[in-house]
Amino acid sequence: MRPTSFRLEDHVSQGITRRSLLVSTAASTAALAVAAGPLATAAKAAAKTPKVLVIGLDGALLGRIKDAEAPALKGLMSAGLTAPSSIYANPLAPTSSGPGWSTLITGVWPDKHKVVNNEFTGHNLAKYPDFMTRIEAAKPNLRTYAVSSWAPITDIIFSAKVDARVSTPSAEYDAGTTTRAVAEVKGGNPDAVFVQLDNIDHAGHDSGAASQAYLDAIHGADTQVGQIVAAVKSRATYGDEDWLIMITADHGHTDPGGHGGSSWPERQTFMIAAGGTVTAGSVRHDVRMPDIAASALAHLGIAIDPAWGLDGRPVQQPTPDAFDALRAKLTGPVDETGIGGGVIGFTHTPPSGWSVDNSKMGTGGITEWRGWSFTTDEFWTKTERDQQRELNIRARNVFAVADGDEWTDKTFSGTFDSTLVSPAYEVRGGAKATLTYTTYYRQEAPQKGEVLVSYDGGAPVAVKTYTADTPSVVENIALQVPAGATKAQVRFRYTGGNNWYWVIDGVTITAS
């Protein structure tokens, strides 16, 4: 809970050296002992008890953490993963605390959990509960503990099924939250701990993200993070435990102070993760907010049921994507003037095996968007704010875009008619297969998106057509493979003019 001067709505890680051994019983026994060593070590490591610690820093910007005196957080970054990320904006939900924390804690986006304000009116948390409630359902013997400085997190988002939910009295604020977290970690036996610290957001509202006060608040929170992490490492059983520690934030802040809007700083969040199987010193761009909950569940050995409808996926289980391989090939703006210098984020060069057919594409227009392009959330949304590009929540890292609206912002001739062509996927003749892809489509006639499939080079057949607004979703389209067919190829054809756009990502065909 905030001090009384703040309003609720402001929340916003085998080698066996072989040696010549004498052929004797004793030597054979020695050889077996040497061979068994690594296996025994691996078994011991695998037997470590998994535990999770999530610390949320309200309103913290990753860039400002890097600027601040923050040895604990920077130590975790060196020891593990740093993953910058971004969130939605209105009309899906504002960049405020209610929607932000709900997304992080439940593992689904606001279109599912329905938290769209800090009053939690009309929420759907019963259908999409917090990750600790899911832990209690799957493994009720595990102890779950949540403590927060902002009361709605532990009063509303975490359900009563959590073993302990503590809302720190406002007079104690983050100091009290830290004391309680340290006591629980040191003196109790928790398996999953969630801690929310609020003062960085407080400083952001008071003085802005560009201020020394904001950096000082990050330093203060860093000290508290260090105390909690030290408590973890001080445990008598620490050597037999495998802690996954994740640090995150619900939203960002503007330089003058405040959040809730659609600007890039307000839409910022991140994951800093250490422990488990996380690679030290790694940086990734495919991590999204709902992955916090999914990663916690996976680390504790809880299988994620598809019926839960989670949007998050475990950070320990990265999913390869052809478009993501293009990140090193992305370049800066050519014709776009509002993106800003130094922002790298587009290419027309498709990944290996893919192609773009622009034989029917009009001429001229904005270079970046002439035909299918490959881009990032930052680059694409900065072309023009508040045209709902911020709602492309389920695409990750690099994705494909056909954007007739932006293409026509410079003198052009003809129409937008471009086809994105996939590699040929292996299928089994006479069997079923599933075409899966992430999409987001915004319609304004005359405009159409067509998904066509061809088998063994035959004529493409439409399997899906878009002529109406379609929110960011993962499509799963059932395919009946013709008898004798061995390959299937997908085409995504976008036609239109000065209309809207179409996003495609994560394309796969899996045989049944």
What is the mean pLDDT of each successive set of 10 residues along the chain, which is 512 residues long? 31 30 33 39 65 98 98 98 98 98 98 98 98 98 98 98 97 97 96 98 98 98 98 97 98 98 98 96 97 98 97 95 97 93 93 98 97 98 97 98 97 97 97 98 97 97 98 98 97 96 98 85
My answer on whether 399 and 453 are in the same domain is: yes
My answer on whether 300 and 353 are in the same domain is: no
pLDDT at 46: 60
My answer on whether 353 and 263 are in the same domain is: no
In the numeric block, the tokens 């209610």 are attached to: 98
My answer on whether 500 and 415 are in the same domain is: yes
293 in a structural domain: yes
**Domain edge (last residue) among 308, 341, 365:** 308
253 in a structural domain: yes
29 in a structural domain: no
- CA proximity to 260, closest of 84, 388, 148, 117: 117
Q: Which residue range(s) make up the domain with 86? A: 8-13+48-308
Q: How far apart are CA 258 and CA 165, in angstroms?
A: 28
My answer on whether 213 and 66 are in the same domain is: yes
For 388-415, how does the pLDDT look when each residue is reduced to its tens digit (9 = 90+)?
A: 999 999 999 999 999 999 999 999 999 9
My answer on whether 117 and 185 are in the same domain is: yes
CATH code (residue 409):
2.60.120.260
DSSP 155: I
Sheet holding 373-375, edge to edge: 346-347, 373-375, 399-403, 501-511, 432-442, 470-480
Q: How far apart are CA 496 and CA 498, in angstroms?
A: 7
Structure tokens at 359: 């034989």
Cβ-based neighbour number of residue 250 at 10 Å: 30
415 in a structural domain: yes
pLDDT at 342: 86
My answer on whether 211 and 257 are in the same domain is: yes
412 sits in which H/E element: strand 412-413
For 82-122, how does the pLDDT look when each residue is reduced to its tens digit (9 = 90+)?
A: 999 999 999 999 999 999 999 999 999 999 999 999 999 99
Q: How far apart are CA 482 and CA 457, in angstroms?
A: 12
Structure tokens at 40: 């025994």
Structure tokens at 16: 């066996």
My answer on whether 304 and 327 are in the same domain is: no
pLDDT at 363: 97
My answer on whether 303 and 432 are in the same domain is: no
43 in a structural domain: no
Predicted TM-score (pTM) of this structure: 0.89
**Domain edge (last residue) among 308, 340, 367:** 308
My answer on whether 343 and 233 are in the same domain is: no
19 in a structural domain: no
My answer on whether 345 and 426 are in the same domain is: yes
- How many domains are there within the chain? 2
- CA proximity to 149, closest of 129, 187, 177: 177
Structure tokens at 266: 């307000």
**Domain edge (last residue) among 283, 308, 333:** 308
CATH code (residue 272):
3.40.720.10
My answer on whether 354 and 266 are in the same domain is: no
Phi and psi at residue 68, to the nearest 5°: -85, 170
